[in-house]
Structures are given as structure tokens and as C-alpha cells.
A = this chain, B = another copy of it.
Amino acid sequence: MKSIESSPLTRKLSAFVALSEVELAVLQRLHQRRKSFAAGRDLVHQGQSEQSAYILAAGWAVSYKIQPDGSRQIVDFQIPGDFLGLRSVLLHTSDHGIEPIVDIQAAEVFVSDLLEAFAQTPRLATAILWAVSRDEAMVVEHLVGMGRRDADARMAHFLLELGARLSLVGMGSRAGYACPLTQYHLADALGLSAVHVNRVLRKLREDRLVTFRNGLVTIENYEGLVELADFDPAYLDQTGPLLK
């Protein structure tokens, strides 16, 4: 049982519920169909039906919507412990696509697996409902922030949110984290041009707030970055389990 206790999803759900042995065993079973997927090849296709859902165990992915004019709007990035395409398996057709950014490991989950798991432990159902609610809170925060924050604050907020999410699954701290995203990812996610992303990152570096270079985000001045972004992490709900 040791491995499942240290899995990213277990660490994440533990922020909401203190998991029992039975619940850990159910989580273990949800991880049994673990597979590898190559970077750059869609795992879930927008508009397709009869998709599977996945639990991301290692690596990063991006979820996006293709717009009628063919351009791509990034909705969010997924890190270990996140569900991939849970919405796709519940809705008839997926409203978005999901692509691995690097080679990933993910466990395939069918609706029948979820029904079986929920029957064994309703607390786990509530925990997964929490995780989905938290994802929705993030999208709402992005929606509200998009019009309100300028490019510097938007970038600062994005890097802080990512850091907080990664910390929860043991992959980051207030000092920084490893990050495989390119400037094109940042541009599409934040609604900026790649040139603009470059300029913003240089400014944040020159102001000795944060440096993003060679796949590493180094936070030099955490408090200064929080102030610039007006970042209040309450919506990420990481302060410890509500259900004991």
C-alpha cells in the first residue's frame, strides 16, 4: 500500500478527506490500468464520444479548445494527481481536447470503475466532487482575472497558482519548481503573443521576482510576486482536510 499513499492523486485528495485503508485500496484499484502516452499525441479528442477518463500519474498535459477559426485556446494544464477527461467521460461528447506535453503515465478509468468505487466508499465520491469543484473554481478565477489583470500580474498569478498546485502533490515549493511549458504554451494560456511573454518574463526577472529559464521556475521574491498578482490562494483550498 506504500506506493498508493505517495501517489499524487492520494496526496491531492488528502487535502479534502483523511483517507482510510479501505479508501486507499479503492484508489489503488483505480490506478491499475496504467499506461504510457507519448508527448504531442491527443489523449482525448474534442467532439469525440465514448472516451475514457485518466488519472495523470507522471508528466504534464494541456487541455484546449479548438475555435471555429482554427486557433487553439488553452483551458488549463494538468499535473500529476489531476484527472484527464473526467468531464469527457461524463458528457456525451468531449468539449475539449487533451494533449500530453511530455511523455506521460496515466491510469485509464471507466465510468463503471467510478460507480464501483463510489459504491464502496461514498467519501471518495465526495472527494472527487471536491477535486472537480476545485477545478471549476480555478476556471472561474481565470475567467474573472482575464479582464482585470494586466500582462505582468496575469503571468505572476499563473506562476503562483501552478506552484501552489505542484506543492500540493510534492513537486514544488515557494522557492520554485520544474516546468516543461514553452513560451508558446504560456502565450496561448494567457492570451498574449510569444514576444509579449518574453518581454513580461524579462521584466519579472529584472525586478528580481521570478526567473523562468531552462525548464525551471525560480521564485526569488515570493511575497513581492504575491503582491504583484494580488494572489489569494483560498480558491485552491489546500489548507487541510475538511472531512476527518
Contact = CB atoms under 8 A, between A and B. Distances in A.
A93 B239 CA distance: 10
Interface centre among A75, A92, A129 (most CB of B within 10 A): A129
Contacts of A142: 143
A136 to B, nearest CB: 4
Chain A, interface SS category? helix
A125 B118 contact: yes
A70 interface: no
The oligomer's copy count stands at: 2
A226 to B, nearest CB: 13
Nearest to A240: B92
A93 B123 CA distance: 20
Contact of A75 (B132, B144, B146): B144
A95 B235 contact: yes
Interface of A: 16, 47, 65, 67-68, 73, 75, 86-87, 90-93, 95-96, 111, 114-119, 122-123, 125-126, 128-130, 132-137, 139-144, 146-148, 191, 230, 234-235, 237, 239, 242-243
Which 10 pairs of residues, A with B, have the shortest CB-CB distance?
A: A118-B122, A125-B125, A95-B235, A119-B122, A91-B237, A87-B133, A136-B136, A90-B130, A118-B125, A143-B143
